[in-house]
Amino acid sequence: MSDQQQTEVIVVGAGPTGLLLAGDLAEAGVQVLVLEKRGAEISNLSRAFAVHARTLEVLDARGLTDDLFALGGNRLGELFLFGRAKVKLSGLDTRFPEVLMTPQYNVERVLRERAAAAGAEFRFGHKVTGIDQAGGRVTVHTDHGDFTAPYVVGTDGVRSAVREAVGIPFPGEAVLESMMLADAVLDEPPAHSPSVGSANGAFCFIADFGDGTWRVIAWNAADQQGDDVPVETPEIRTALKLAFGTDFGMHEPSWSSRFHCDERQAPTYRSGGVFLAGDAAHCHSPAGGMGMNTGIQDAANLSWKLAAVLRGADAALLDTYEAERHPVGEMVLRSSGRIIRVAANKSKVMKVVRGAVLGTAMRFDTVQHKVTGLISGIDVHYPHAHGEHRLVGTRAEDVDLADGSRLYEALRGGRFVVLDGTEPTAAVDVASAEPDGLTRVVRPDGYIGWVGEDDPAAVRAYLEACAGKL
């Protein structure tokens, strides 16, 4: 290695966000280097546990869902909140009307294997010590040497060294202290998974991983300790009894940790050639299980744009990353915050009102649609410019194509897909059964980028602006 190794993109952090980003870039032919301060071993200690429908679609567009399902997990078509409120994911208009309960390390495994197979280079045990920018390049200083590239993406979590090195603030507040996390066996598990209980100044979330192990997240207002204090099993059992009336016969956890729940978001996701994604850009409560999913979708939005600009697309394309993803991070922050505050409310009156109101509200189809669309990520859409078609910025539904394949299969490899186009282009050109006579250009992240009547010249102009050298 030279004193300053050069590449095209440096990704700092080998969690799910960084791994999906690195895999996308490598598959697009971009030289990508991943720096990770941890060792090469994938940790079996992970906070994330839920893979929602939109993330399953993102993985499907990369041919990874079957690999992830093969590692195990519990596929659930409905969720239960506070006993009476049922969230029916089975009604989602997607190939994956469900949530997959599986440990984060399973997601990391399939994403790392894909990135490595595509040619991404990894440097483990490398701690970032600083960042300099000059002459259109970014130099990342580590305790094992320096690395330089036109672009760097910090996916290194809540305590992001990248974010701190470029001076991007991370305003917000701690919502709850001394939250406990554990994976354990329950002798007398609940009837429903996941289940949320809240009573007597405590609340708990428990979810079945499908292999006999349950994820337990617990909080007890009367038992507040610092993050560095080890979790004792009786603490978790006490919280379960307060929240549910039983500890479900919980065994000694295979592991446990204590953390505080923050709500924070960077005001900008970019500083020159440095970008932030995932928990480095936004963090929030675990309520709804949306954290890892939001980060993975950040990566899916940014990866194709970086690849396109590196091969000649307008550099202004990179400005759309923050414009599209910052509002999504803000929305997730608000929604998860509401859930955690309702759960932590100690008022007995609030407990009764909460169960009755939520239980009644979730019986209405409009409420179900809004809640499931938000939690699953299916209804996330991006703003479109004045004069653009209303479908621009919306998620493209998977459709069957004339050649017998599906849209999300055609997206694999980071390609644009033209639906109902008539003039061949270097992007995928296929016909679908759209009845409205419109041509749609679907971006590599599965969102619609251009809509109009059949106009090959306009389609080509859009692709040249957004896809670089096709």
Euclidean distance between CA atoms 416 and 427, whole angstroms:
5
- Give the pLDDT means over successive 10-residue stretches in the chain (470 positions): 80 97 97 96 78 97 97 85 70 93 94 98 97 97 96 96 98 85 92 83 88 90 89 94 94 88 93 97 79 95 97 94 96 75 55 52 62 86 88 93 88 89 47 65 95 87 79
pLDDT in tens, 309-368: 999 999 999 999 999 999 999 988 887 766 665 655 555 544 554 554 555 555 555 766
Instruction: Report the DSSP pairing between strands 99-101 and 121-124.
Output: unpaired
CATH of domain 407-467: 3.40.30.120
Residue 429: the pLDDT is 45
Domain with CATH 3.50.50.60 in the chain: 4-49+103-170+266-346
Predicted TM-score of the model (pTM): 0.89
- Give the list of residues 6+ apart from residue 383 with CB closer than 8 angstroms, or none: 323, 324, 327, 393
Distance spanning both ends of the chain, measured CA to CA: 33
Residue 205 burial (C-beta neighbours within 10 Å; 0-12, 13-18, 19+) = buried
Tokens 């993803």, residue located: 325
Q: What is the pLDDT of residue 425?
A: 45
Q: How far is CA 65 from each of CA 56, 58, 303, rounded to the nearest angstrom? A: 6, 9, 19
Domain ranges in the chain with CATH number 3.40.30.120: 407-467
Q: Boundaries of CATH 3.30.70.2450 in the chain?
A: 172-262
Q: Report the interhelical angle of 319-344 vs 291-310 (nearest 10°).
A: 180
Q: What is the pLDDT of residue 351?
A: 54
Which tens digits make up the pLDDT trace of 392-438? 999 999 988 878 889 999 999 898 999 875 444 444 444 454 556 78
Answer whether CATH 3.30.70.2450 is correct for domain 172-262. yes
Which backbone phi and psi does 284 adopt, to 5 degrees?
-160, -175
Residues 22 and 408: their CA atoms lie apart, in Å, by 20
Strand-strand pairing, 428-430 and 128-134: unpaired
Other C-beta atoms within 10 Å of 60: how many? Answer: 23
Mean pLDDT over all residues of the chain? Answer: 87
CA angle 20, 26, 32 (to 5 degrees): 90
Instruction: Identify the sign of the CA torsion 409, 414, 420, 423.
Output: negative
CATH architecture of 4-49+103-170+266-346: 3-Layer(bba) Sandwich (3.50)
Q: Look-up: residue for tokens 């390049």?
A: 137
Q: Please, what sign has the CA dihedral across residues 122, 147, 414, 293?
A: positive
| Residue 227 tokens, joined | 């993050």
Q: Which contacts (CB < 8 Å, 24+ apart) does range 88-94 have?
A: 88/368, 88/372, 89/53, 89/372, 89/375, 89/376, 91/368, 91/369, 91/372, 92/53, 92/372, 92/373, 92/376, 92/378, 93/378, 93/397, 94/53, 94/54, 94/56, 94/57, 94/376, 94/378, 94/397, 94/398
pLDDT at 176: 78
Residue 20 has φ and ψ, to the nearest 5°, of -65, -40
